[in-house]
Amino acid sequence: MKGFWSLPLVEWGTLAFCVWAARNLPNAWLVSPMDQGGWVALTLWLVPLVWHRWRHPRTAGAVRGVFLVAGLGGALLSRLTELNAAGYAGLAVALAAWMPPGWRTWWWLAGAISWMPVLGWMLAGLTAVWVLPIRVLLAVAMSVPACRSSPLHVPMAPSPAES
């Protein structure tokens, strides 16, 4: 199965299907006042993925098939049940297939809620003015650790005894 999921056509096809399953996302961002600006959070959330693929081109090609299968499952569930949140989650998980393994990827993946319309629904008690700053703050807070050069990943300097 690993050989099948390592084909670029299958990987990109799966991602394209996940994007298609989440195709109403821009409409949600335009129509709902609680979801406006979600594209800003998505852009900020994607920075670690672009950063990783740019900084580590040799390891950037490794795609984890489990994430692709899970993303495909979410996208299929979305299309079968008209549950848009499953499509958004499927897209986020499929994008995580291109991130390096580790806790930082899981943390980054949890931050996907920052651009999803479900966050606007969860923040319905607030005025719409506060939603965009909360989205941006959440996207940044969840994305910074995923960047390998973040302050949480500073390599330790050798001790004087090792020099």
Q: Tens place of pLDDT for every residue, the chain, 163 residues?
A: 454 445 688 888 999 999 999 999 999 999 988 898 899 999 999 999 988 878 776 665 567 889 999 999 999 999 999 999 999 999 999 999 988 888 889 999 999 999 999 998 898 888 888 999 999 999 999 999 888 654 444 455 555 665 5
Using alpha carbons, select from 137, 142, 118, 130 the residue that is nearest to residue 46: 142
Q: What is the spatial distance between Cα 13 and Cα 27, in angstroms, rounded to a whole number?
A: 23
Q: How many CB atoms lie within 10 A of CB 6?
A: 13
What b-and-e string marks burial along 75-112, b requiring 16 or more CB atoms within 10 Å of the CB?
bbbbeeeeebbbbbbbbbbbbbbbbeeeebbebbbebb
Is residue 153, in this structure, part of any structural domain at all? no
- For residue 8, give the 3-state DSSP assignment: helix
Question: What is the total count of domains within the chain?
Answer: 1
CB 115 within 8 A of CB 45: yes
Is residue 161, in this structure, part of any structural domain at all? no
Is residue 18, in this structure, part of any structural domain at all? yes
Is residue 77, in this structure, part of any structural domain at all? yes
Is residue 25, in this structure, part of any structural domain at all? yes
Is residue 163, in this structure, part of any structural domain at all? no
Quote the domain boundaries for residue 46: 2-148
Is residue 160, in this structure, part of any structural domain at all? no
Is residue 92, in this structure, part of any structural domain at all? yes
Q: How many CB atoms lie within 10 A of CB 122?
A: 14
